[in-house]
C-alpha cells in the first residue's frame, strides 16, 4: 500500500461524462485509483468510458455518493481545488504545497481532493467541509482550467511528491516521522540550545525557524528523530554534570 492509495479524488456534480473519463485517465497515469462521484449528471456513460481509455478500471471501481460529506467519510483531511482564489476564510495552498500536505498526512490516513462543477465550482457550504483551498496558478483573466486538466495537475504533484518521499526514507524503509514527533524534537532542541546558552530565550524565533527549515528540507525518519533526541538527552546530561 503506497501513500497514493489513501488519496481519493472526489468530483462533485460533474456535468460532462467525458470529463469523468478524462479524470480517471489522469488519475491512473499518476498512480491514483480511488474515484468518488457525487451526483454525476450522466454516469456510467459511453463518453466517460471512451475518454478513460485504459483507465476503465478506475471508472468501474468509482463510488457513487449523494452528498460531499458522504464522499468524505473516513477522511482526516479534505482539500478543495478552486479556480477562484477565494476569501480569507480558507487557507490557500499551491499544488506543490497540497501534495506535501498529503504526504505529511499519510500513510494510513484517508485524504480527499475535491473538485467542483464545470459551471460553478464548489458551494461555500461544500468548502466548509474542507480544510484548505488549492489554487492552480493560471492566467488571471482566464484561470478556470478544464476539470480533468485540474485533476491532472494535482495528481501529478502528488505523484512527484510521493516518489520523493520514498527516496527520502532510509534504505531500511524507516518511515517519515509524524509531525507531532518532529514537533517534540523541536521543543527538546530548543530546551537544549537554551541550556547551552546558544539560544537567547528572549528571542528564540529566528534560530528555531531556520533550524525547522533545515530539518523540514531533509525530512526526518522516526529512527533519525530518536537518534537526535538521544543526542539531546546526552547533551543535557553533560551540561548538568
Residues that bind ligand SAH (CB under 6 A): 81-84, 115-116, 118-122, 134-136, 138, 143-145, 147, 150
Q: Work out how close the CB of 232 gets to ligand SAH at its nearest, in angstroms, rounded to a whole number.
A: 42
Say if residues 23 and 31 touch (Cβ distance below 8 Å). no
Q: Work out how close the CB of 197 gets to ligand SAH at its nearest, in angstroms, rounded to a whole number.
A: 48
- C-alpha 55/C-alpha 78 separation (Å) is 24
Tell me, what DSSP letter sits at residue 174? P
Q: Work out how close the CB of 45 gets to ligand SAH at its nearest, in angstroms, rounded to a whole number.
A: 18
- C-alpha 76/C-alpha 131 separation (Å) is 10
Cell 470529463, residue? 19
Nearer to ligand SAH, 64 or 143 (CB): 143
Say if residues 69 and 112 touch (Cβ distance below 8 Å). no
Q: Which stretches of the chain are DSSP H helices?
A: 17-29, 46-52, 56-60, 68-71, 95-105, 124-127, 147-168, 179-195, 205-218, 222-240
Nearer to ligand SAH, 148 or 162 (CB): 148
Q: Work out how close the CB of 30 gets to ligand SAH at its nearest, in angstroms, rounded to a whole number.
A: 16
Q: Work out how close the CB of 94 gets to ligand SAH at its nearest, in angstroms, rounded to a whole number.
A: 10
Nearer to ligand SAH, 63 or 86 (CB): 86
Nearer to ligand SAH, 106 or 121 (CB): 121
Q: Which three cell numbers stand for residue 204?
A: 528564540
Determine how β-strand 110-115 pairs with β-strand 132-134: unpaired
CA 75 to chain centre: 12
Nearer to ligand SAH, 93 or 103 (CB): 93
Amino acid at each position: 500500500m503506497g501513500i497514493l492509495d489513501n488519496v481519493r479524488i472526489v468530483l462533485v456534480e460533474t456535468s460532462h461524462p467525458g470529463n469523468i473519463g478524462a479524470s480517471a485517465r489522469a488519475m491512473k497515469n499518476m498512480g491514483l485509483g480511488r474515484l468518488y462521484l457525487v451526483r454525476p449528471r450522466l454516469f456510467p456513460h459511453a463518453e466517460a468510458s471512451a475518454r478513460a481509455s485504459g483507465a476503465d478500471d478506475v471508472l468501474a471501481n468509482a463510488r457513487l455518493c449523494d452528498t460531499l460529506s458522504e464522499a468524505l467519510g473516513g477522511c482526516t483531511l479534505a482539500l478543495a481545488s478552486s479556480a477562484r482564489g477565494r476569501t480569507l476564510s480558507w487557507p490557500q495552498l499551491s499544488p506543490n504545497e497540497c501534495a506535501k500536505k498529503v504526504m505529511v498526512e499519510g500513510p494510513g490516513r484517508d485524504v480527499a481532493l475535491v473538485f467542483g462543477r464545470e459551471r460553478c465550482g464548489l458551494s461555500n457550504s461544500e468548502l466548509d467541509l474542507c480544510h484548505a483551498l488549492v489554487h492552480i496558478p493560471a492566467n488571471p483573466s482566464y484561470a478556470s482550467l478544464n476539470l480533468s486538466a485540474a485533476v491532472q495537475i494535482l495528481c501529478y504533484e502528488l505523484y512527484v511528491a510521493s516518489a520523493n518521499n520514498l527516496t527520502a526514507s532510509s534504505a531500511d524503509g524507516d518511515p517519515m516521522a509524524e509531525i507531532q514527533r518532529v514537533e517534540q524534537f523541536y521543543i527538546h532542541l530548543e530546551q537544549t540550545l537554551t541550556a547551552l546558552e546558544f539560544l537567547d530565550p528572549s528571542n528564540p524565533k529566528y534560530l528555531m525557524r531556520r533550524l525547522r527549515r533545515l530539518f523540514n528540507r531533509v525530512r526526518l525518519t522516526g529512527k533519525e528523530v530518536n537518534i537526535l533526541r538521544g543526542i539531546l538527552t546526552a547533551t543535557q546530561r553533560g551540561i548538568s554534570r
